Amino acid sequence: MHIFITRKIPDVGLKILDENNISYDIGNFKKPPTKKDLIKSLKKKNYDGIITFLTDTIDKEILDVCPNIKIIANFSVGFNNLDIEELKKRGIMTSNTPGTSSIAVAEHTVALMMSLTTRLVEGDRFVRSGKYKGWDPELLVGTDMKGKIIGLIGCGEIGTEVAKILNKGFGSKILYYDIVKNNKIEEETKAELKEIDEIFKTADIISLHVPLLPSTTHLINKDTLSTMKSSAFLINTSRGGVINEKDLVNALKNKIIRGAALDVFEYEPKLCSGLNKLSNVILTPHIASSRASARNQMAEIVVKNVVSVLKEGKVINSVIK
Ligand code: DGY
């Protein structure tokens, strides 16, 4: 049995493959491979499976060059890079790594919120640029986190962790919108399930925790932005396409909302024109889940799915329902 791994995964995963006598080739790419790169690599052998990353678009064209594939194991929680219908049609088992990054992403989300409210990144830039000439009571005045209304759009595993940190740490009132009622978080934090429009109108900080689906694409756009408080902050650690970035740039420029922090981008890794010129936005390079603990767990789960499919014909964390 032989699989292709599009880029290096942590050793803990490779060790499990070795123990199970599954050999592998690892793509030697310095940056996410293009479709052409992937096709070239996949044509080299008759692979039984592929470990993919969120930057690899797996569609008909790719699948056509590897007819023997039994498993696509995606090294991430999100799987909007996979053509699920096509995989289903071909009977290819497909997995993700649920639950591996909830703590990491939740902590990064809260760090982004606090960086916005404390103006931490602006302060750092200010000092580095030599502009700091002495203490000033009006310098970079921030906002308290305590007492703020938090609006979570999507309250699965990550949203739940964000709610817990904010409610226990800051006494925040948590409002959430989800298609599923989250009893656990309601009990633990007194979070309230609300209509999405009400969240837009009332929250001081809105944080996005939804998968990228046709129904969530451009959920944040000029219309929804215009219903938010002018003092509101928007955080996105989900997927870039949930926000119409051009509309967000306009809203930030025109003070329709106060600020935003983004770990993901609509045309990742490209930024929407004007975004990096704004002082009221914080940008991080899709690193919310980038912790050794999360990456190791992801490697373990991704590989366990490969082993289970190739040895027993069963997928553990199927994304095909
Ligand atoms: C995920 O798991 O979906 C993150 O976005 C990348 O680690």
Of all residues in the chain, the percent with pLDDT exceeding 90 is 99
- Does 239 participate in catalysis according to the annotation? yes
Residues 163 and 191 in one domain: yes
Retrieve residue 9's tokens: 């995964």
CB of residue 101 inside a 6 A radius of ligand 1: yes
Q: Phi first, then psi: what are they for 292, rounded to 5°? A: -55, -40
pLDDT tens-digit series, residues 222-262:
999 999 999 999 999 999 999 999 999 999 999 999 999 99
Residue nearest to atom 4 of ligand 1 (CA): 76
- For 294-318, how does the pLDDT look when each residue is reduced to its tens digit (9 = 90+)? 999 999 999 999 999 999 999 999 9
The pLDDT value given to residue 321: 87
Supply the DSSP string of 70-122, one letter for each residue.
Answer: -EEEESSS--TTB-HHHHHHHT-EEE--TTSSHHHHHHHHHHHHHHHHHTHHH
Looking at the domain assignment, is residue 258 inside a domain?
A: yes
Round to whole Å and give the CA distance between 268 and 30. 16
Q: Indicate if the pLDDT at residue 42 is higher than 90.
A: yes
- Note if 268 is an active site residue: yes
pLDDT (average), residues 179-193: 97
Residue ranges making up the domain that contains 155: 102-283
Decide the pairing of beta strands 71-74 and 49-52: parallel
Tell me, yes or no, if 195 is annotated catalytic: no
User: Is 66 strand, coil or helix?
Assistant: coil
**To test the ligand 1 pocket, which listed residue (51, 53, 100, 101) has its Cβ within 8 A of the most ligand atoms?**
101
For the segment 69-112, what is each residue's pLDDT rounded down to a tens digit?
999 999 999 999 999 999 999 999 999 999 999 999 999 999 99
Residues 138 and 49 in one domain: no
Determine the atom of ligand 1 nearest the C-alpha atom of 79. 3
Tokens of 233: 């902050």
Alpha helices in the chain (DSSP H): 11-19, 35-42, 60-64, 84-90, 102-118, 120-128, 157-170, 183-189, 196-202, 222-226, 245-253, 292-312
Tell me: do 241 and 260 sit in the same domain.
Answer: yes
Residue 319 lies in a domain: no
Q: What is the amino acid identity at position 54?
A: L
